[in-house]
Structure 1
């Protein structure tokens, strides 16, 4: 079976590409390396195509069985609305069109950013009021996907709304790497971990291994759907520091500072996983504590 992973040199894409390879699939990675990194693909033995999703010749992928569309601008601080919409939404539309036309299964990365300030736990129907252009670009992808699901009931289209993903191969994301990575790096560098006052903000932190598992399950989804992928259990920033202290053997007190993004900041995200369980059979395997332990063993944060 042949699989294409767009954005396959990125954080989630590379974890997915390597796991698909481990499972015996023939894997092609497409990435323009604008934010992906070759080091994420050390150990990968498939083909890598270094081109943009906007103009790569799609006919090269006619014999593919599944497209995993992970490619996107994921830097939520990017203000260029046209660029964000072109890459994230038009790039998505191009591959969705192609997949449906050629009867290829299409599984794509959506985002919890589509929820904006919807109250937690967020259910799939709560989306549609994003706080930034990134969330908006992903929301429009979901809207397009829903129309395709109605028009082409025989198509296999699955959208996965990722919550806060952390784990190996995220260090090349720099400032967009997870809070877990950022705080661990500060601690390893001998600094007190800095968080917004007073650290009681809650986030659904999901381990990348669970996210990869959800992607694999999506291949056999009972029907086309858009579902949450999270841990289903939010943790506070204070708790993240507590767990990191324990795992890394430190005893740092947090340093609190004012949140400059207060007016559009999501204070509490938590994935309602009812639909993901029903459509995909998805149930996270990793508790936050176990995931942090596994992560810091498998990859030191100073890499």
Structure 2
């Protein structure tokens, strides 16, 4: 039959209070906090309910960035948006923090480069024995400040960040930390390494965003 690999999302983890484990029992307990995450959770639950997890691969993508996202508008990565903010204004805007344990710009995400994601998807397509619902992040959360500084570094510019108020409507559903547990994907033998954040952003900016033709 045809190999079936589908996209789920780290949005299924909601506010992160239940952790970021992709084990099947934990998946059943998750409580997404927006309709996008809920829609992905419903499909994951259907896979588990019908016992398909030994025949398909579902991928919970964390914060993906990289080439060919230029059509996505508001859904494009912060790397892409920051690049254009810097070119237009010299500054980048980030949301302030409303939790004392996180400084402004200190909120954390598991940023993962699209080129690494494609390598992993290709590996899964060619290893039909590797089935289940898997996280796809680097396993190491980094701050928004780290991300923005890396964009400035790729442009050989000093960072200039403005911290702005978060809209009230977002505050109740904002994730302060996402970090993939990657044990399960590694346990099925996937050997693909992840690019360090600074290297990935450097490649994206210098070899794509700064080029006349930014596409892969």
CA contact (8 A) 2:53 2:131 kept: no
1:118 corresponds in structure 2 to: 16
Q: TM-score normalized by structure 2?
A: 0.85
- How many matched pairs? 198
1:114-137 Cα distance to aligned partner (Å, 9 max, x none): 000124861114442111110000
**What's the secondary structure of 1:189's corresponding residue?**
helix
**How far 1:221 moved relative to its partner?**
4.4
Structure 1 position 234 matched with structure 2 position 147 = no
Query: In the aligned structure 2, how far is the partner of 1:288 from the partner of 1:130?
Result: 27
Structure 1 position 134 matched with structure 2 position 43 = no
Cα 1:121–1:298, aligned 2, differ >3 Å: closer, same or farther? farther
Query: In the aligned structure 1, how far is the partner of 2:210 from the partner of 2:42?
Result: 35
2:185 corresponds in structure 1 to: 276
1:299 corresponds in structure 2 to: 208
1:208 corresponds in structure 2 to: 114
**How far 1:276 moved relative to its partner?**
0.9
**What's the secondary structure of 2:145's corresponding residue?**
helix
Cα 1:236–1:151, aligned 2, differ >3 Å: closer, same or farther? closer
2:4 corresponds in structure 1 to: 106
Query: What is the root-mean-square deviation of aligned Cα atoms in Å?
Result: 2.0
Greater C-alpha radius of gyration: 1
2:131 corresponds in structure 1 to: 224
Query: In the aligned structure 2, how far is the partner of 1:225 from the partner of 1:285?
Result: 21
Query: In the aligned structure 2, how far is the partner of 1:179 from the partner of 1:118?
Result: 20
**How far 1:151 moved relative to its partner?**
6.0
1:248-297 Cα distance to aligned partner (Å, 9 max, x none): 11223210012221111111001110001112514433110110111112
1:98 corresponds in structure 2 to: none
CA contact (8 A) 1:217 1:280 kept: no
Cα 1:223–1:119, aligned 2, differ >3 Å: closer, same or farther? same
**How far 1:189 moved relative to its partner?**
1.5
Match of 1:181 among 65, 69, 80: 80
Query: In the aligned structure 1, how far is the partner of 2:116 from the partner of 2:105?
Result: 25
Q: TM-score normalized by structure 1?
A: 0.61
Larger relative contact order (CA 8 Å, sep ≥ 6): 2
CA contact (8 A) 2:90 2:160 kept: no
**What's the secondary structure of 2:205's corresponding residue?**
helix
Query: In the aligned structure 2, how far is the partner of 1:200 from the partner of 1:109?
Result: 28
Query: In the aligned structure 2, how far is the partner of 1:278 from the partner of 1:196?
Result: 37
Cα 1:214–1:176, aligned 2, differ >3 Å: closer, same or farther? same
1:201-227 Cα distance to aligned partner (Å, 9 max, x none): 101000001111111121204342000
Query: In the aligned structure 1, how far is the partner of 2:189 from the partner of 2:4?
Result: 14
2:100 corresponds in structure 1 to: none
Cα 1:144–1:161, aligned 2, differ >3 Å: closer, same or farther? same
